[in-house]
Structure formats: C-alpha cells, structure tokens
Amino acid sequence: MSLFQRREIVVVLTTAVAVAVIADYWTTLPVYGGTFMEWAVILGAFAMGLAGFSTIRYHIGHALKKTKGLWVFSVWWMIVLAITVLTGLAGLALTFKAEDNPIYIWILNNVYAPLNIAEYGLTGFFTISASYRLLRARTKSSLVFMLVALLVMLGSIAISEAIWSQLPVPGQWISSVPGAAGERGATIAMGIGSVIFALRAMTGRERGYLPE
Amino acid sequence: MAEKEKEAQDIWTRILNIDVRVFYWACLIILALPLIFPFTLPIVVTEPTRAAFNTIQSLPEGSLVLYYMECGVGGWPELMGSMVASLKHIYAKRLKFVIVNIGYSVDHKLTFDRIFSLAGHPSARGYKYGEDWAYFGFASGMETAMASLAKNFRSVYREDDFGTSIDQLPIMRNVNEAKDFKLVLCFNTAGGQSWVRAHWTVANKVPSIIAVIGAGLAQSQSDFKAGMNSGFWFSTRGAAEYEGLLKAPGISSARMSALDTMQLVTILCVIAANFAFQMSKRRKK
Amino acid sequence: MPYPTDPIILVGIWTTTILTMFFYSYVLYKESGLFRITEYTFVASSVGLLLVTMVKVVIQSCIRPIMAGAYGYILLFVLGVLMYLRFSPKYIWISRWPFAIVVGVGLGLEIRRALTSDVIANVRGTIFSMVGKDLLTTFNNLIITVGVVCTLVYFTFTKEHIGPLKIPARLGRWFLLIMFGTYFGSMAIGRYSLLLDRINDILRVIGLLPY
C-alpha cells in the first residue's frame, strides 16, 4: 500500500486543516484557515451531487434487475428525474438561470413544492394520533411530560386567552424558564460532547467519516 | 352485572384503540372548517416578538440587514408569515437588505418569488436593485459558508444570483464582513440558528432575530434569555403576533383560528384518552 | 385574486391538488400504487432540483473563476471531481483526500462553535443574568441556573449519581422531561401549520375558499 493510500496520512491532513481553522479564529497567525474554509465551501458544492448519484445507482440497479414490486416505480422515478434535470440544464445552458425554463419552473411549482409541503404535512396527521396514544399518565414521568405538553399547547393558542387571560401563563412560563433551563443544560452538554468527538476524530480514534 | 361490566370494559378499550384513520379524517375536517367559517380572536403579544419588533424599529433608515433564508419550501407554512411581515417592516423603515440562502434547501428561488409576490416587489416600494437591495442566491457549504461569510463576504459570493459581479453593486461597497451589517434576520428550519448565533452574534456581536419552527421554541427561549438573540418569532403564532404589531394582518393571522381549534381538539383528545385509560385500569382491577 | 382561467395554470393547480390527494390517501385510506407513484415523483423532482443546483453552483464558484483567469481553482475542480471516486471500490482511497479537507474544516468549526457559543456563551448567560430587574425575573433566573447545573450533573456519567450527586441528577432528569414536554407541545402548532397549508390550497382550488 502506497503512502497516499494510508488512512493515517488522511487523518493527519484532517487534523492539520482543523487546527488551521481553529487557530485562524483565536490567533493572528497566517494559518490560512480562511482559505481552507473557502475550499470547503466549493467542495461542498460537488458533495451535493453525491447523494443524488447514490440514489440514481440504486434505482438503475432495481430497474435493470427488474426487482418485483419496485422496478416499475424506479423506471418512473428515472423518467421524472430525466425531465427535471434536462429542462433545468437547458435553462442553464441558455441563460444560466435554470429558473428561466418554463417547464422546469412548472415542475418545481406544481410538483416539487406542494408535495414537499404535503410530505411534511403528514406529520400533522401523526401528531394527533401520537398525542392520543402516547400522552397517557402511566407513570409520574409520563404524567409530567403530558401536563407540560398540554400546558405549552394551551399557552400558544388565542382561545385559551379568550377563556381566561391567565390561562396561557403557566405554559408560557414553563417554556421560557424550566424548559429553557433543560435546553441550555443539554446544549452545554452537547457542546462539550461535540468538542470531545472532534478531538477523537482529529486523533484518529473516530474514522467513520472516511469513505471505506 | 358481570356481563354489563365486561361490556363497559370493552367500551373503554375500544375508545383507547380507535382506528387512527378516524383521527386523520377528524384532523382534516377540523382544520378545514375554521378556514371556511373563519373567526378572529385577539392575540396577546409575547415578549420575544415585541423584542424583535423593537429591534427592527430602532434601526435608523438605511441600515444594512442580512436577510438570511435558511428555510426551503418545507418552511413556508410556519415561516412565510414572518418572512413577509419582516420584509414589510423593512420597507416601512427604509432599511437596506441583502438576501442570502445557505443551508440544506436548494429551492431558494421559489421562496424568493413567493415572498415578493406576498410582500410586494422592492421595485414597487421605490427600492433600486444593487443600491437598496441585492440577492445572492444559494451557496453550498452550510455552516462553513456562514462562518466564511462572516469573515469575508466575497469568499462565498463573488457575484449575485443574476451574474453581476459583487464589486459592481453599490450596496456592497465597503461591506466585507459581519460587522458591516446592523442586523441578521434568520428564517430557520434546521441549523441556521446555531450558525448565526455562533459566527455572527457571539463572534461578531451582530444582533440577530430568528424565525423558528415549532420545535425551536425551547432553544430560542434559552438563547433569548442569555442574550444570544434579540427576539424571535415562534412559528405561525409569532408571525401572527408580529403582523398584529405591524397592523398588517397576513397569512399567519388568517390561519390562527384553524390552528387554535386543532390544538384545542388535541388537548381534549388527550384528556379523553387519559379518562378512558383510567376507567379501563379501574375495570381491570 | 380571481379564479385562474389560463389553461396552463389550471392544469398546474389541479395537478397539485390531485397529487396531494394521492399523497394523503396513504393516511386517509391505505398505502396504494397512487401514493407510491406520487412519492417517487416527488423524490425524483427533488433529486433533479438538487443536481441542477449543484451544476449551477459549481459553474458559479469554480468554472467561472477559472475562465476569468484564477487558475488555482483548477485544483479545487479536480479535488471536487475526485470525490466521486468513492463509488469505485478500486480508487475509493483517492476520494478520502478531498473529504479530509471538508471534514477537517467541519471539525474546526465544530470546536469553535461548540466552545464559544454552546458552552461559554451559555455559561456566561446563566451566571451573569442571575440577578434580574425585579424579584420575579431574579426568581426565574435562579430556577434557570439551578436547572442548568442539575442537567449538567445528570449528564455526568463518569461518577455514579449517589451521595451529593443524587438529588441534583434526579432534578436534572425532571428538567429534561420538562424540556421534552415543551418540544412536544410546541411542535404541534408547526405540524398542523404544514397540513393546514395544503388543506387551504385544496379548498381554494375546489372552490370552497376564494382563490
């Protein structure tokens, strides 16, 4: 295995870049941390396509293998993808503004955007069924959880203010005092955990980020 | 008697195990009815919304604001109200603004078009592109891009979204880093809030106002109390409060009746479920 | 706004409505081919949008500077393309180099952000805002301080929660429960807003609400 293939060299590079970015913030040394950040922004643009290409490989695989129950949908998936990408790239080629292609804009406005919101909207349905099934006072902990959730909900609706002006107060107090306290403690703990994880990655103990 | 008790027990168990599709259809109908038969209730303005309003209100005319759209189409239902209202406030105060999109969503152009269709295009308010406002579009890199933007604006954007070089835009003359901005408005669905907090507010002391989705309430309250934001708009409710302060009711105010009704029904469902659960437990004993 | 009469707009809004109804047939009825077709259509259009945006950003940030004479960006372009070698089992090791730069920057920023804003700013905010402008604010701030300390004790796993740590750890657990309850309660308005948006649009298209 050549030197460049060794994972240890890659970890050294990762650590060097991380140290440069940290030192750039706290010192005035010429460590080129800003340059590495600029590089990462541009490399991030290339990385955007990785997930897309992984998905394309997945669907091509199913279409070619004619996987039962999947291949028809995978073919449809690739047709829609092809139409979207080709119309978008045609717009880019003509004016460098993909949005100028009317077919591309039509797909985004009438297919992508509403279905995006609809997909997130499914969680609206699940909220009420989850509330009904989950928020039950089985133990002291679940009772507290349930009461807090109900009070916070009460605190954010105008109907409770109309019933009694002080009705929303407990919920608003809970979210702004004990809720905020728990959140702040968790944030500090997660911050310390993040630093520890980063140090572990920089010392080579965590290698999950390296393509295997 | 035992037969009747057995029957009653079945009722409580049946109530607890209602088919979920009943809830889904009820949800649909309960949300639709207040839209068809709307009613309005006064909304009390909470402290974070008032603080956000006062922060923008206190800016002198011509101050430069970073209008940071981190959200995509998925954030429209919760954040569009505050995006539109804040833009109307910017127009009223004659502030200058620069729009950027850095985050997980790549559908920025749709949001850009939608905001202006609801709030009015800047040109209709006497704003000149390049002098009073600019649009830089999407940049990849997420937190890295936000941190780079705070350090050196031109390291992320060399031209605006229409292909014009940044140096040809008068609004960007002498604007190089975070300290050149008077305020950041962050419309956040994922990580934007923590990036702005760390690299703009804490590192460079630039005040920020965050519009958060439902799950961001606790975090935003904690930051507000610690002075790490100058106010926030909590989902549709915060936007409705803000619209009330501006005396410009918009989409959020129009939807509060439906949301209020649905949340009230949820609370009643939970109470009913707990009542049935306790009755079911007693029967089993 | 009057109900649209333009055929293209009409086709658009009815396509939106029908696709949304197919999507929600999953919860309102059961999973079916209609739902799956709609789901696959959405995912395909999202990936298409992502790829087109990627091409645009690469041209803007890399290709155009090269064409303007900044030949240093050629190295970045090559590094970016090398990332795609992660799909090749034989040359996957080459893709580790550009990833090392991206991950290294991410780790550095992570440490910066975690230390300055997550830890130091929050600790400073907790300690220095203990005394408020009135008695109620001071009381609330004291609760926040106690809550933060107890939550941190709860997260200390290197020492067993016995003796002097027992009560603070238990209190910390209760504060975390309250935090999760707040999350659940505050999420409801968000989730219903998302659903409400689609219902509003459907009602407008079918004529039950003014367009």
Asked if B259 and C193 come within 8 Å (Cβ–Cβ), the reply is yes
Q: Assess C133–B contact: CB distance below 8 Å, yes or no.
A: no
Looking at the structure, do residues B141 and B202 belong to the same domain, yes or no? yes
Mutate to test the interface with B, among A116, A132, A188 (most CBs of B within 10 A): A132
Beta-ladder partners of B100: B68
State which H helix or E strand residue B232 sits in.
strand B232-234
Which candidate, C86, C58, C84, places its Cα nearest to that of C73?
C58
Closest CA to A33 of B179, C105, C107: C105
Instruction: Find the residue in C nearest to B201 (Cα).
Output: C117
pLDDT at site A17: 96
Condensed to tens digits (0 to 9), the pLDDT of residues A121-169 reads 999 999 999 999 989 999 999 999 999 999 999 999 999 999 999 999 9
* Phi, psi for B233 (deg, rounded to 5): -110, 120
User: How many CA atoms lie within 13 Å of B55's alpha carbon, on the beta-carbon side?
Assistant: 25
Return the closest-CA partner of residue C19 out of B108, B275, A119: A119
Question: pLDDT band at residue A30, thresholds of 50, 70 and 90?
Answer: confident
Query: Looking at the predicted structure, is the pLDDT value of residue B269 above 60?
Result: yes
What is the model's pLDDT at position B8?
57
For the stretch C97-101, contacts whose Cβ atoms lie closer than 8 Å and that sit 24 or more positions apart, written own/partner, are C97/A4, C97/A10, C97/A13, C98/A43, C98/A46, C99/A10, C99/A209, C99/A210, C99/A211, C100/A10, C100/A11, C100/A13, C100/A14, C100/A17, C100/A210, C101/A13, C101/A14, C101/A17, C101/A36, C101/A39, C101/A40, C101/A43
Cα atoms in the 13 Å half-sphere on the side-chain side of A203: 7
User: By percentage, how much of chain A surpasses pLDDT 90?
Assistant: 79
**Is the CB of residue B29 less than 8 Å away from at least one CB of chain C?**
no
Q: Tell me the nearest-neighbour CA distance from C23 into chain B, angstroms.
A: 13
The answer to whether B41 contacts A159, with C-beta atoms less than 8 Å apart, is yes
Contacts of B260 in chain A (CB under 8 A): 157-159
**Amino acid identity, position B252:** S
Subunits in contact with chain B (3 or more CB pairs closer than 8 Å): A, C
Does the residue B245 lie in any domain? yes
B225–chain C Cβ distance below 8 A for any pair: yes
What are the structure tokens assigned to B232, written together? 């926030």
Residue numbers of the domain that contains B143: 47-249
The CATH number of the domain holding residue B72 is 3.40.50
Within 8 A of A194 by CB-CB distance, chain C residues are 110-111, 113-114, 118
Answer whether residue A183 is part of any domain. Answer: yes
A186 with A141, same domain: the answer is yes
Task: Give Cα separations from B212 to A73, B58, B217 (angstroms).
Answer: 36, 22, 7
B59 and B100 in a single domain? The answer is: yes
Rounded (5°) CA angle B233-B236-B241:
60
The answer to whether the CB atoms of B23 and A159 lie below 8 A apart is no
Q: Are residues B211 and B133 in the same domain?
A: yes
Q: In the block, which residue shows the tokens 């639709």? A: B32
Please check whether residue B239 lies inside any domain of the structure: yes
Burial of B279 (0-12, 13-18, 19+ CB in 10 A): middle
Answer yes or no: do B215 and B272 share one domain. no
Tell me the nearest-neighbour CA distance from B159 into chain A, angstroms: 13
- B265 lies in the same domain as B239: no
Tell me what the pLDDT averaged over chain A comes to.
92
Nearest-CA residue of chain A relative to B199? A25
Last residue of a domain, one of A86, A115, A134: A134
Judged by CB atoms closer than 8 Å, whether chains meet at A175 and C182 is answered as: yes
Tell me: do B176 and B268 sit in the same domain.
Answer: no
Q: Is residue A127 part of a domain?
A: yes
Residue A146 sits in the same domain as residue A118: no
- Best of C26, C61, C111, C116 to disrupt the A interface (most A CBs within 10 Å) is C111
Q: Which two tokens stand for residue C117?
A: 């804003």
Domain boundary among A134, A160, A177: A134
**Residue B64: closest CA among B178, B197, B146:** B178
Residue A34 lies in a domain: no
Contacts 24+ apart (CB under 8 A), C128-132: C129/B225, C129/B226, C129/B227
Would you call A37 and C52 a contact, using CB atoms and an 8 Å cutoff? Answer: no
Residues of B in contact with C28 (CB under 8 A): 21, 24-25, 28
A129 shares a domain with A67: yes
What is the pTM for the complete model shown?
Answer: 0.92
Tally of CA atoms within 13 A in the half-sphere of A144 that contains its CB: 14
What's the structural domain count of chain B? 2
Phi–psi pair at B98, nearest 5 degrees: -125, 125
Report chain B's mean pLDDT, rounded to a whole number.
Answer: 93
The residue among A111, A134, A157 that closes a domain is A134
Do residues B165 and B264 both lie within one domain? no
Q: Low-confidence residues of chain C, pLDDT below 70?
A: none
Give the nearest partner residue to C147 out of A50, A131, A181, using CB atoms.
A181
Cα→Cα distances C191→B186, B264, C22, Å: 20, 14, 20
B53 and B16 share one domain: no
B89 and B136 part of one domain? yes
CB contact under 8 A, B42 and A162: yes
User: Is A129 found in the same domain as A141?
Assistant: no
Which residues touch B110 (CB under 8 Å, ≥6 apart)? Answer: A108, A109, A113, B72, B73
Q: Is the CB of C181 less than 8 angstroms away from the CB of A152?
A: yes
Average pLDDT over residues B69-78: 93
Based on the fold, state whether residues A69 and A124 are members of the same structural domain. yes
Pairing relationship of beta strands B183-188 and B208-212 according to DSSP bridges:
parallel
pLDDT tens digits, B148-200? 999 999 999 999 998 899 999 999 999 999 999 999 999 989 889 999 999 99
Domain range for A113 is: 57-134
Confidence band, pLDDT 50/70/90 cuts, at residue B5: low
Residue B139: pLDDT band (50, 70, 90) is: very high
Question: Which pLDDT band holds residue B1 (cuts at 50, 70, 90)?
Answer: low
Q: Does B260 contact C at CB distance below 8 Å? A: no
The rounded distance, in Å, linking the Cα atoms of B74 and B127 is 29
* Set of chain B residues whose Cβ sits within 8 Å of the Cβ of A179: 217-218, 221
C188 and B CB contact within 8 Å: yes
Same structural domain for residues A115 and A155? no
The reply to whether residue C125 touches residue B266, judged by beta carbons under 8 angstroms, is: no
- Min Cα–Cα distance to chain A from B156, Å: 7
Task: Give how far A201 is from chain B: nearest CA, Å.
Answer: 18
Q: How many CB pairs under 8 A join A and B?
A: 155
What local confidence, expressed as pLDDT, does residue C167 receive? Answer: 96
Residue B4 clears pLDDT 90, i.e. is over it: no
CA–chain centroid gap for B255, Å, is 14
Across the interface, which of C29, C129, C183 has its CB nearest the CB of B225?
Answer: C129
Q: How many CB pairs under 8 A join A and C?
A: 391
- The residue of chain B with its CA nearest to that of A38 is B155
Q: In sequence order, which ranges of chain B are alpha helices (DSSP H)? A: 2-16, 20-36, 47-57, 76-93, 108-119, 143-151, 192-196, 203-204, 217-225, 235-246, 251-284
A110 and A68 inside one domain: yes
Regarding whether B177 and B55 lie in a shared domain, the answer is yes
Rounded to a whole number, what is the distance in Å from the CA of B170 to chain A's nearest CA?
23
Residues of A in contact with C52 (CB under 8 A): 84-85, 88-89, 92, 98, 104
Residue A196: Cβ within 10 Å count:
12
Look at residue B88 and tell me if it is in a domain.
yes
CB contact under 8 A, C80 and A109: no
Judge whether residue B55 has pLDDT over 70: yes
Q: Is residue A6 within 8 Å of residue A193, measured between CB atoms?
A: no
Q: What is the pLDDT of residues B83-131, one digit of tens each?
A: 999 999 999 999 999 999 999 888 888 999 999 999 999 999 999 999 9
**How many domains does one find in chain A?**
2
The residue of C178, C186, C202 whose CB has the most chain B CBs within 10 angstroms, and thus the best one to mutate to test that interface, is C186
Residues of B in contact with A176 (CB under 8 A): 221, 225
Phi/psi for B42 (5° steps) reads: -65, 145
* Calpha distance B31→B39 (Å, rounded): 13
Which residues in chain B are contacts of C49 at CB distance < 8 A? 106-107
Interface check B213 vs C, CB under 8 A:
yes
pLDDT band at B14 (very low <50, low <70, confident <90, very high): confident
DSSP single-letter state for residue B66: E
Question: Does a structural domain hold residue B42?
Answer: no
- Residue B142 carries which DSSP code? T
Q: Are residues B153 and B238 in the same domain?
A: yes
Amino acid at A56: I
